[in-house]
Structure 1
Amino acid sequence: MIVVGTDTGIGKTVFSAGLARALGASYWKPVQAGLEEETDSEVVARLSGRPVLAEAYRLRLPASPHLAAEREGVAIDPARLALPPVAPLVVEGAGGLMVPLTRHLLYLQVIAGWGAPVVLCCRTALGTINHSLLSLTALRAAGCRVAGVAFIGEEMADSRRVICEIGAVRDLGRLPVLERVTAEALADAFAGIDLAAIREVS
């Protein structure tokens, strides 16, 4: 299962941790840009207790992967981004769909090549309708299988309904803002996520 977001910093790493734990899956973040703080893989390991696969690329600079790689003299090879032969597996993308991995390769192109179902994580803040529908349009244009949309944040029922109706996509539930992001709190909050629907397409 591929987990992507409409933007960076919306909570898809925490969602990925909850999903890996709920599915009993391993986790993989192909490209990590930014190593000074706790990495996404470290967050998921702490919150999920599930196996975490080593990143294909670990880049120090907290920037778009293409820029971080260039600054460090690293050439990102698409062949190293092939899906590992591990199942079940939760794979987390970086930032939004159009994030460049190189000057000639977008993350969306890699995701489309994987052929695995995609969960789109959307924040519930102002602007989410536009960002979500644009992301759904891009995923479908690239030939991706969209499992559904998972919302992250405070409840915005009308926005959820509009996105799912216009986007013709399944509402997979909402992960609320957690006062304390612990493994236990995340597991409890994941009761609001439609795991049965996700398993149908896994």
Structure 2
Amino acid sequence: MTRRFIVTGTDTGIGKTIFSAALAGALSLPYWKPIQSGLEEESDSQAVARLAGVPIHPEAYRLVTPASPHLAAEIDGVTIDADALVPPPGDLLIEGAGGALVPVTRAILYADLFARWQLPVIVCARTALGTINHSLLTIEALRSRGVPIHGVAFIGDAMPDSEATIAQIAGVRRLGRLPLVDPLTPQTLAQAFAAGFDLADFR
């Protein structure tokens, strides 16, 4: 049975790539980041390869400027063809950029791509203050486009009430919680994921 997921977030910089590496490693899923913006530091694909050791599909677009894809492409002089962004076949974990409503172009948002692809989406939400609002807005935006939501994965310190409230109000599955892992190695990440998630929820 083929396993295919999309990972998005409620914001940028919340640990979505670390979660993606943990899930890809746990399920041995090949990884695809359609668009990488900002190449000065380690890319998300490189981070996942280092932490999970899974096959990596090359990005469709690699943009130098560290900005939202629509702006990075304009600054870099690149035209993004959203219609050509087609997920590779087979088992796959796709990671978007930032939040679900980040623009791919000035006409297409990531959530619009997710609606086109019709693959189950995992929403990564940090547990810090404001997460209820950000999570519910993200879920509502996805649902309004008919995007299938697999569940919510929390990242950060335990906040049981916030986590339960989001799951209850949105009517989504709470998949688990990944704490901030320090030191971050393939081994410590795998251990933290195994302690916080049940693989049966992803099968």
With normalisation by structure 1, the TM-score equals 0.96
* Aligned counterpart in structure 2 of residue 47 of structure 1, from 28, 45, 51: 51
**What is residue 149 of structure 2 aligned with on the other side?**
146
Task: Select which of 92, 101, 110 maps to 2:113.
Answer: 110
Q: Give the aligned partner of residue 127 of structure 2.
A: 124
**Superimposed CA distance per residue, residues 125-167 of structure 1 (whole angstroms, 9 cap, x where no aligned partner):** 0000000000011111110111100000000000001000001
1:58 counterpart letter in structure 2: R
SS in 1 for 2:112: helix
Question: Matches of 1:145 and 1:198 in 2, distance apart?
Answer: 14
Distance in 2 between the 1:73 and 1:185 partners? 40
State the aligned residue count: 198
> Which of 47, 67, 71 lines up with 1:67 in the alignment?
71
Residue 3 of structure 1 contacts residue 118 of structure 1 at CA under 8 Å; is this kept in 2?
A: yes
Percent of pairs identical after alignment? 60
* C-alpha separation in 1, matches of 2:22 and 2:183: 14
What residue identity is the alignment partner of 1:62? P
Counterpart CA distance in 2 for 1:46 and 1:168 is 35
Unaligned runs of 5+ in 1: none
Q: Deviations over 1:55-110 (max 9, x none)?
A: 0000000001000000111110013211111x210000000011111111111100
1:181 to 179, 184, 189: 184
Contact 1:98/1:108 (CA < 8 Å) preserved in 2? yes
Asked if 1:15 is matched to 2:19, the reply is yes
Extract structure 1 runs of 4+ deviating beyond 2 A. none
What is the TM-score with the length of structure 2 in the denominator? 0.96
* Structural mapping, 1:133-172, within 5 Å: 133-172=136-175
Task: Give the 3-state SS of the residue equivalent to 1:82 in structure 2.
Answer: coil
Task: Work out whether residues 23 and 88 of structure 1, in 8 Å CA contact, stay in contact via their aligned partners in 2.
Answer: no
Q: What is residue 26 of structure 1 aligned with on the other side?
A: 30
